[in-house]
Amino acid sequence: MLKKAMSVLLAALLLVGCQTAPTTKPTTKNETTSSAQNVQALPVPSKVEGSFKAEDSNINKTNLVKYLGRGDIAFIDLRDYSDYTKKHLKNFEVIPFFGLIYNAKAGEAGFPQLYKGTHAEPVNVYKESDQILQAMIPKDRTVFLMCQGGARVEMLMKILKAKGYDMSKIYNVGGMANYTGEAFTPWVTDLEEAVVEAKYRFEGLTPVK
């Protein structure tokens, strides 16, 4: 039941991000080798050791465009699905932080999130909470996280640290509000007129007593 629930959930969440990625022409073997050799090296996530704040991030509006479209990075947008639908960066998949991952009231009626407690000391709501988190946010890849202003990313990074993630691979790239200008025009999907009401739930999970 868990596998089925997760498959349906992730398919729904990842669909928009995947289908809006910019198209690229097929590459030859030589082009692929050259591209691999010229991959832009990543800086450390933060200018300030231990800081998860967007303002301290080494990936931001001045250089994010250099890394967009890379297959070795997981791009995740933590905003609510309705906000994501209106405007988002292509390649970014939506995983709503407040809708699915954390709420102080999680476990109560109408609050299906995976964790309650605090961000630094999250409490599992389900026995499967950590398994689902790792399905959403891979432990074995570099991850670029964004939201509207960067605060939700900071909250999630505290949870990820508590759950044993390698924080040298997790980046707070700030908020969608910062990504304007010609450099990002090819990467922005803008549907301001779209109106979407999203409701979230998990089925078949085992509550922690």
**CATH number for the domain harbouring residue 183:** 3.40.250.10
Residue 30 is assigned to a structural domain of this protein = no
Between the alpha carbon of residue 203 and those of residues 5, 103, 183, the distances in Å are 6, 17, 41
- Asked whether residue 152 is domain-assigned, the answer is yes
CB neighbours (10 Å) of residue 159? 22
Closest to 163 in 3D by CA, of 191, 130, 125, 132: 130
CA distances from 91 to 18, 22, 58, 67 (A): 6, 8, 20, 11
Give the Cα separation of 36 and 155 in Å (integer). Answer: 33
Tell me, yes or no, whether 195 lies in a domain: no
Q: Which two tokens stand for residue 132?
A: 């689902």
CA atoms within 13 A on the CB side of 14: 12
**pLDDT by residue, tens only, the chain of 209 residues:** 444 444 435 444 443 344 344 433 444 444 443 344 467 799 999 999 999 999 999 999 999 999 999 999 999 999 999 999 999 999 999 999 999 999 999 999 999 999 999 999 999 999 999 999 999 999 999 999 999 999 999 999 999 999 999 999 999 999 999 998 889 999 999 887 667 778 899 999 999 98
Q: Is residue 29 part of a domain?
A: no
- Could you tell me whether strands 87-89 and 188-190 are parallel, antiparallel, or unpaired per DSSP bridges? antiparallel
3-state secondary structure 104-133: CCECECCCCCCEEECCCCEEECECCHHHHH
Residue 51 in domain: yes
Parent domain of 75? 2-21+43-190
Whether residue 34 lies inside any domain: the answer is no
Q: Is residue 13 part of a domain?
A: yes
- The answer to whether position 16 is within a domain reads yes
Determine the Cα–Cα distance for residues 95 and 134; give it in Å rounded to an integer: 12
Q: How far apart are CA 58 and CA 48, in angstroms?
A: 9
The domain total for the chain is: 1
